[in-house]
Amino acid sequence: QSALTQPASVSGSPGQSITISCTGTSSDVGSYNLVSWYQQHPGKAPKLMIYEGSKRPSGVSNRFSGSKSGNTASLTISGLQAEDEADYYCCSYAGSSLWVFGGGTKLTVL
């Protein structure tokens, strides 16, 4: 059970769209539509932004969307805003009731 692979950093200007990838294997991301995404601001607890691959919890902006292709899941943020600057983590079910997180991606809004 290895950590999912995310880019260390991504950046974008206000109003632009960015995509963060999360690459796993056929044993986790590729086998289940159970990827979730979390936003974490400095010193704060993570916040669920996307679950079950593409579903948004109540209260999360529709600027956030999730998708998957093969062993790679993606989080897209459209209409980038300054408040979106944070760390983002993916998490996938890995079978047998086990879970695995990604290494995290730092989003910078230029």
CB 8 within 8 A of CB 102: no
Q: Nearest distance from residue 16's CB to other proteins, in Å? A: 25
24 is a contact residue toward other proteins (CB under 8 A): no
- CA–CA separation, 35 and 100 (whole Å): 10
- Structure-token match 């995509």, residue found: 19
CA distance 71 to 48: 21
x/- binding map, residues 1-20, to other proteins, per CB under 8 A?
A: x-x-----------------
Under the binding rule (CB under 8 A), the answer on residue 104 touching other proteins is yes
Report the alpha-carbon distance of residue 64 to residue 7 in Å, rounded.
18
Q: Which of the residues 27 through 66 are near other proteins (CB under 8 A)?
A: 34, 36, 38, 45-48, 51-52, 57
Number of residues that bind other proteins (CB under 8 A): 24
Q: Are 66 and 35 in contact (CB under 8 A)?
A: yes
Which residues lie near other proteins (CB under 8 A)? 1, 3, 34, 36, 38, 45-48, 51-52, 57, 89, 91, 93, 96-104
